[in-house]
Structure 1
Amino acid sequence: MTDLITPETSTSSHYLWGVARPHQIDDAELTEFIRAQSEKTFEEDKVMLAAQQRSLGETGGSTFPVPLKTDAGPIQARRLMEQLIEQEQALLSRAPAPAGTKPDTVS
């Protein structure tokens, strides 16, 4: 079984899941049972994730209010991405206009 959450916007995500098995693959009844139980589990998760997003608010939040040890990697990755974005924006704000273009003027 696998599940994947990937951002869509700053306040929404796509939640993908799938199940594979190497045994009794011709058993349609077992296939339906596994699919239904997996869907039930992920629908329960979906309710929790939606509540979590509501608690973060419209901005999506940038930090977790109560980080756990298991959150260390994702928190570090988020901080690194924020730093890289800030560095890129700083470089772009200081970069000269490309040759052959006119700078923006204010009247």
Structure 2
Amino acid sequence: MMTRRADFLAANRGLRVARQGFVLLAHANEGQGRRLGITVTKKIGNAVVRNRMKRRFRALAREVLPLHGLSDTDHVLIGREGGVERDFAHLREELIAALGRARAGKGDPPRRRREKR
């Protein structure tokens, strides 16, 4: 499990695959094994909603990453607004598809930078 901010910032430089319920970041980590990081911002909801989403992501990762995860890679799941209400089976399918795209090197284009006011 990833806990250090520097690891999350490094993962942000990696491959980005957006799905309906989450965004997957995948970044090679020089032989540190398969690691997971989860982040859910306050925009998603209150603490109860955010913690529920994180629990769902952890259960999803326990089920999917051992079979479909990339070796020696940091995987970061970023919660999106509709992710809490989505069916667990749909989330599983989305994560497997996102990992397949990451394995093939087919990430989404980088996010647009927001202008500073």
Name the TM tier (shorter chain).
0.3 to 0.5
The structure richer in helix per residue is 1
The structure richer in strand per residue is 2
Q: Could you say which structure has the greater relative contact order, defined with CA pairs below 8 angstroms and 6 or more residues apart?
A: 2
Q: TM-score, normalised by structure 2?
A: 0.32
Q: TM-score, normalised by structure 1?
A: 0.34
